[in-house]
């Protein structure tokens, strides 16, 4: 049996307990991580900053600021009024709209990317607070350091893509749960923050159900049922205006075309069409029937059913084993490869030793981190006598992260399992990996420590 010591009692064996010393280390990580992010933003040249997804986001923001219309339509640039849609959620376009409205257009991209680098640096601080909620300080600092060095979390800042904002808002939601231990109004506010994350990446929306269930089942939480209800109400409060806008403007509460398209793109085993390696990563572009069955959810589901009936084992293996494996892999499949989404002309990762070394280090650790995170996610749900932590708060955070990683994996078993989508989850992945490693360490210590002999 493992002794149930709280995280703070385990610090001495790892690190001097001086809080000043701990804060100095954290500050050093933040400064170094911020320097890496700003350096990459300033010294990276992208061939086409407004690639396919980026152009959509920019058009939404541009049309919103200049015409008051939420639309991905580019026709406004030709003097034609844009047509409203809801293909993508409003979180990131609103973020871009702030910069477009406050910064001259010729400086927009430069200021935006620096803003994303700053937000990504703040995310490191939030990462520490999340990790510290259930890990010893040395492990929380190590999680923060790994997050600071992760190349994907650095390079995503020089693209007009939503990952930097989503990483920050998701961590903000997790940090906010640390203050939701007593009264229901706190959980009402947490629900609003959670919904803000879904407004950036809608895959998070459906996590409201398992999250409310986790709160409901938290026996040590006073008024847990009222807290779960308040969380859902807060979530709906922020979601309702967006849904009402869609109903009034478009005639429907939501637009399922993006979800249908993502599911359609994810039906090709190993990202290839008909086994042709030349189609890798973009199999949907080679399928002449793709446009036919990707126009609605009903047609996509029928196509998946038909493919399963024709080749059940191939598609079972792809959906159950292949998709999770690809989702948590390293290389960005639908992009320039490795750590880049759009091709770049130059990058510090091509020439500067410190960046190249950190890339090699994180690459070599990635599979181990995924494996340990699986162990940590299982450990979080074992009986408390097997836990390396004690207390309701630390265990709640460990189980929340475990549930979140499991949920995201299941979601991407249904849609396109592009590895790019795991990047905002790297801080949570490292948290659970170090939690799993800590659990192994504590088990070994317990088993190898001589037991006192009974007297007499």
pLDDT at 6 over 60: no
Contact 113, 38 (CB under 8 A): no
Q: How many domains does the chain have?
A: 1
Among all chains, which residue has been given the structure tokens 């800042």? 157
Confidence tier at 3 by pLDDT (50, 70, 90): very low
Residue 456: inside a domain, yes or no?
A: no
Distances (CA, A) of 266 to 282, 411, 417: 10, 11, 7
pLDDT at 211 over 70: yes
Residue 259: inside a domain, yes or no?
A: yes
Torsional sign, CA 334, 45, 156, 262: negative
Query: pLDDT tens for residues 161-191?
Result: 999 999 999 999 999 998 666 688 899 999 9
Residue 453: inside a domain, yes or no?
A: no
Residue 454: inside a domain, yes or no?
A: no
Confidence tier at 198 by pLDDT (50, 70, 90): very high
Higher per-residue pLDDT: 216 or 250: 216
Confidence tier at 453 by pLDDT (50, 70, 90): low
pLDDT of residue 181: 67
pLDDT of residue 108: 95
Query: pLDDT tens for residues 226-266?
Result: 999 999 999 999 999 999 998 888 877 777 777 888 899 99
Region 285-295: what's the mean pLDDT? 88
pLDDT of residue 169: 98
pLDDT of residue 9: 46
Chain length of the chain: 456
Residue 455: inside a domain, yes or no?
A: no
Please compute Rg for the chain using Cα positions. 23
Query: pLDDT tens for residues 351-406?
Result: 999 999 999 999 999 999 999 999 999 999 998 888 888 888 999 999 999 999 99
User: DSSP letter at 273?
Assistant: B
Please report the beta strands in 275-384, taking only residues with DSSP state E, as ranges in sequence order: 344-346
> CB under 8 Å to 319, separation ≥6 — which residues?
413
User: Looking at 155-159, 310-314, 334-338, 345-349, which range is the least confident one?
Assistant: 334-338
In terms of phi and psi (left: phi > 0; alpha: psi -120 to 50; beta: otherwise), the region of 223 is left
% of the chain at pLDDT higher than 70: 93
pLDDT of residue 11: 45
**Domain containing 183: what range?**
7-75+82-446
Region 279-284: what's the mean pLDDT? 89
Residue 451: inside a domain, yes or no?
A: no
The mean pLDDT of the chain is: 91
Higher per-residue pLDDT: 355 or 8: 355
pLDDT at 83 over 90: no
Among all chains, which residue has been given the structure tokens 């849904």? 243
Region 422-444: what's the mean pLDDT? 95
Query: pLDDT tens for residues 393-419?
Result: 999 999 999 999 999 999 999 999 999
Higher per-residue pLDDT: 74 or 15: 74
% of the chain at pLDDT higher than 90: 72
Alpha helix (H) ranges present in 13-162?
19-43, 52-67, 91-102, 105-132, 137-149, 151-155
pLDDT of residue 2: 42
pLDDT of residue 407: 97
Confidence tier at 333 by pLDDT (50, 70, 90): very high
pLDDT at 451 over 90: no
Confidence tier at 344 by pLDDT (50, 70, 90): very high
Residue 371: inside a domain, yes or no?
A: yes
pLDDT of residue 172: 97
Q: Which helix (H) or strand (E) holds 344?
A: strand 344-346
Crossing angle of the two packed helices 426-448 and 353-379, in degrees rounded to 10: 60
pLDDT at 10 over 50: no
pLDDT of residue 455: 61
Residue 203: inside a domain, yes or no?
A: yes
Closest CA to 166 of 55, 265, 261, 89: 89
Region 108-128: what's the mean pLDDT? 97
């Amino acid at each position: 049996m493992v002794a149930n010591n709280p995280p703070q009692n385990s610090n001495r064996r790892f690190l001097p307990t001086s809080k000043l010393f701990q804060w100095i280390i954290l500050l050093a990580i933040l400064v170094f991580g911020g320097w890496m992010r700003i350096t990459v933003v300033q010294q990276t040249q992208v061939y086409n900053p407004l690639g396919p997804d980026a152009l959509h986001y920019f058009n939404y923001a541009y049309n919103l600021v200049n015409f008051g219309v939420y639309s991905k339509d580019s026709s406004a640039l030709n003097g034609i009024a844009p047509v409203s849609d809801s293909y993508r959620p409003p979180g990131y376009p609103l973020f871009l709209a702030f910069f477009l409205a406050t910064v001259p257009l010729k400086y927009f991209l430069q200021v935006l990317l620096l803003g994303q680098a700053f937000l990504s640096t703040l995310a490191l601080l939030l990462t520490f607070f999340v990790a510290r909620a259930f890990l010893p300080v040395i492990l929380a600092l190590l999680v923060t350091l790994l997050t600071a060095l992760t190349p994907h979390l650095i390079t995503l800042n020089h693209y007009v893509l939503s990952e930097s904002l989503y990483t920050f808002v998701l961590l903000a939601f997790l940090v906010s749960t640390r203050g939701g231990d007593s009264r229901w109004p706190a959980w009402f506010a947490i629900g609003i923050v959670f919904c803000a994350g879904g407004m950036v990446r809608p895959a998070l929306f459906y996590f409201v159900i398992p999250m409310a269930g986790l709160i409901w089942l938290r026996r040590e939480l006073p008024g847990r049922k009222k807290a779960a209800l308040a969380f859902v109400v807060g979530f709906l409060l922020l979601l309702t205006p967006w849904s009402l806008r869609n109903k009034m403007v478009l005639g429907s509460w939501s637009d399922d075309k993006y979800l249908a398209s993502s599911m359609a793109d994810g039906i090709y085993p190993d990202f290839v069409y008909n086994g042709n390696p030349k189609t890798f990563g973009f199999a949907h572009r080679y399928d002449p029937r793709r446009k036919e069955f990707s126009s609605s959810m009903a047609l996509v589901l029928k196509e998946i059913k038909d493919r399963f009936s024709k080749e059940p084992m191939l598609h079972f293996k792809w959906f159950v084993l292949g998709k999770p494996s690809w989702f948590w892999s390293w290389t960005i499949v639908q992009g320039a490869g490795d750590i880049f989404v759009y091709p770049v002309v130059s990058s510090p990762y091509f020439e500067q030793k410190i960046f190249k070394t950190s890339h090699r280090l994180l690459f070599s650790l990635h599979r181990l981190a995924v494996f340990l995170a699986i162990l940590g996610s299982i450990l979080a749900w074992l009986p408390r006598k097997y836990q390396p932590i004690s207390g309701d708060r630390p265990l709640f955070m460990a189980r929340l992260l475990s549930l979140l990683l499991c949920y995201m994996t299941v979601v991407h078993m249904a849609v396109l399992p592009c590895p790019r989508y795991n990047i905002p989850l790297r801080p949570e992945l490292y948290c659970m990996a170090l939690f799993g490693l800590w659990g192994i360490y504590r088990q070994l210590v317990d088993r190898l420590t001589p037991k006192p002999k009974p007297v007499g």
